[in-house]
Chain A
């Protein structure tokens, strides 16, 4: 356990919980509605919940399930719908207001790992096994990739919603529906686990099985590789400016400077306070704070561009399995023990000189 004085932390630096609810089993993914009033949550066992955020309390209802287990959840940018995926080969679309199921879509044979809405249009992408599909507003497939050479580990839309990148063993594939004969390959002999577009669309960063981080310059196809992580890297988060990429892959949060010629040859800024492996690293989408969690259940808040100290902290009831910010300084943490907790940095402002 970290060598921290919890009582001291509590007095001075505690980031108080706005509310928390216990949903029963491992929270595998959660997503804020665009208006940040609702939180859709899916669990490893397959339950789908909708949580109504009432500021200092919350109400939840179980709205459905994926037989065999759930994998992901994502809201449409207008908040009218959200999509969940699971082990049943399905992507299920839900009404964001009534919580009624709108349709079940056959996205694959068994394991549908992810569905992601375009950031600006009412279309979404699904990844199931080696197949990527894009669905329109009428829930019809309007684009389907040829089989990838291996199972797709992660997918992500570029910030303007015109292209989808898929990460798999042997690198990243970029799909621009209707604008290319063949998807563009960013080949790399390694296994990419997660990907993150920089907010300026300049880079795609990937976290790798072989304990490295890869940067692809989207236009030129040039790449750079960052070494020295103690474990495989599954935590990536860009700051709003697109200059800094935060990474996990061990107990240290690292910030890579991607300005100018990119991160190659530069040393990262390193933030040490966690004494166990990081599980989540996430930049605030409308600010400069960064939240990180570790395997001991610690939640730390940083102001990393100013200094290397923890600005606020809390000890969760178990390890965080997902952490999602929304605008307005609020974020939710889903945990391995089935608890979902919400935090607001405003409640910590009175202690912190930001």
Chain B
């Protein structure tokens, strides 16, 4: 009987007009990979694709009666793909090229919301082409560009020959801050190895976390931290003017004098750094605790007081590297004190992006009920703003990893494999609009046992 379970992978190609979608499509089709590929082109397709089967589609978005944007699907794709799946010669792969103005959400949701599509097809990945030369012109005011970047599993930064490497670094950092789970490749004429755009498993739970380890190492709002052994005293932070007029810092207590104790304070400091800063002028006192201090760095002799109420280990987090301001710490007698441990962090390129990624990387076990309640409420309230999410969770009492991924309010998760010794941890990422890093972290941490 012909009741087969094999699903056909589908790649969604997004990007503005002129970003190189057709060039990439032609490369994929002409590459000698032995695959039979069907192409569904939007009505404004940039013509010139040579293939046995190119089907024109006119975007038709079906909303469901509950009015939830997360339940929109593409009616045209259901019709066309439904017919394609009935053909005698099955295709090995299907490419869907969307218009530059298309919202990738309904396209992606079609493969989860429609039972026939779900049975016969699997969404392999969203590949977004970005025109390195022109994207900055519309990234600010185009929701489409932001959404296409946010939804992507792979982003091709194309036409790199037309911009300087500094501009490229800047652009790449910016795109990475919007979607830190996507792989970014720099290309000319959309030249890229096929295995970087096909068979991504971007929506595949087995590969949910087979992503760049960078994604698990979030960008930090500070560049440096140092752990100091302090006695009860008033210590001084001494600086010289540098490249910036002001800098944020957090001064806090650690549990002991070890590298792991400093590491344990990092997540808390990240949260403090998303707070409102308290502006301080030279000579001011910075108490250890949960305050984000913004110290003024203009003037000749800059000195801030770090009062230590009791002997112990303290950590200083600074927005910029202390070397930039020739900064050092002394005790009240003026003796220079070096940190026992220090660490440099990958800087976060702050752009105040509307679309961002929030990564959470926390040890500990989750209370399953609390987590479910939290996630349900989060998706109910912010589902339309959360484009993608994925992660691995450690549930209390469960010997196996729980992997999940989602698109808007659609959530797909299951147990995976047993945890290895010492491996238990939670790693997840949200990519979306107007995400509140602090609230997400706090909400998640409240689910820990």
Contact = CB atoms under 8 A, between A and B. Distances in A.
B114 A295 contact: no
Contacts of A231: 115
Contact of A318 (B2, B64, B71, B114): B2
A45 B88 contact: yes
A151 B60 contact: yes
A196 B56 CA distance: 30
Contact of B60 (A45, A111, A169, A189): A169
Interface in B239-278: none
Interface in B51-101: 56, 58, 60, 62-67, 71, 73, 75-76, 78-79, 83, 86-88
Contacts of A275: none
A25 B56 CA distance: 23
B311 interface: no
B439 interface: no
A6 B374 CA distance: 49
Interface string A79-117: 000000000000000000000000000000011000000
A20 interface: no
B3 A69 contact: no
Interface in B354-378: none
A151 B76 contact: yes
Contacts of B115: 230-232, 277
B1 interface: yes
A336 B75 CA distance: 23
State the main secondary structure of chain A at its contact with B. loop
A147 B73 CA distance: 22
Nearest to A45: B88
A44 B86 CA distance: 7
Interface in A305-343: 317-319, 321, 336-337
A209 B2 contact: no
Contacts of B58: 151
Contacts of A26: 86-88
Interface in A1-55: 24-26, 28, 44-45
A344 interface: no
A317 B1 contact: yes
B79 A189 contact: no
Contacts of A336: 2, 86
A26 B87 CA distance: 7
A297 B86 contact: no
A69 B78 CA distance: 17
A190 B64 contact: yes
A296 interface: yes
Interface size class of B (residues with CB under 8 A): 20 to 34
A198 interface: no
A209 B106 CA distance: 14
Contacts of B116: 232
Contact of B65 (A188, A232, A296, A297): A188
A209 B56 contact: no
A191 interface: yes
Nearest to B66: A210
Contacts of B64: 190, 209-210
A150 interface: yes
A167 B214 CA distance: 50
A45 B87 contact: yes
Given A110-B56, A151-B75, A277-B115, A189 B63 contact: yes
Contacts of A188: 65
Contacts of A317: 1
Given A110-B56, A232-B115, A318-B1, A28 B65 contact: no
Contacts of A212: 65
A114 to B, nearest CB: 12
A169 B3 contact: no
Given A26-B88, A209-B62, A151 B1 contact: no
Nearest to A109: B56
A50 to B, nearest CB: 21
Interface in A256-310: 277, 295-297
A45 B116 CA distance: 20
Contacts of B66: 210
Nearest to B73: A209
Contacts of B79: 111, 151
Interface in B27-72: 56, 58, 60, 62-67, 71
Nearest to B64: A210
B75 A209 contact: yes
B83 to A, nearest CB: 7
Contacts of A190: 62-65
A299 B292 CA distance: 71
A262 to B, nearest CB: 19
Contacts of A319: 2-3
A214 to B, nearest CB: 10
Contacts of B60: 150-151, 169
Given A189-B63, A209-B78, 8 more contacts: A24-B88, A111-B79, A151-B76, A169-B75, A191-B75, A210-B64, A231-B115, A319-B3
The 7 closest A-B pairs by CB, nearest first: A231-B115, A191-B62, A26-B86, A210-B64, A190-B65, A44-B86, A25-B88
Interface of B: 1-3, 56, 58, 60, 62-67, 71, 73, 75-76, 78-79, 83, 86-88, 114-116
17 contacts: A24-B88, A26-B86, A28-B86, A151-B75, A151-B79, A169-B75, A190-B63, A209-B78, A210-B64, A210-B65, A212-B65, A232-B116, A296-B3, A318-B1, A318-B3, A321-B86, A337-B2
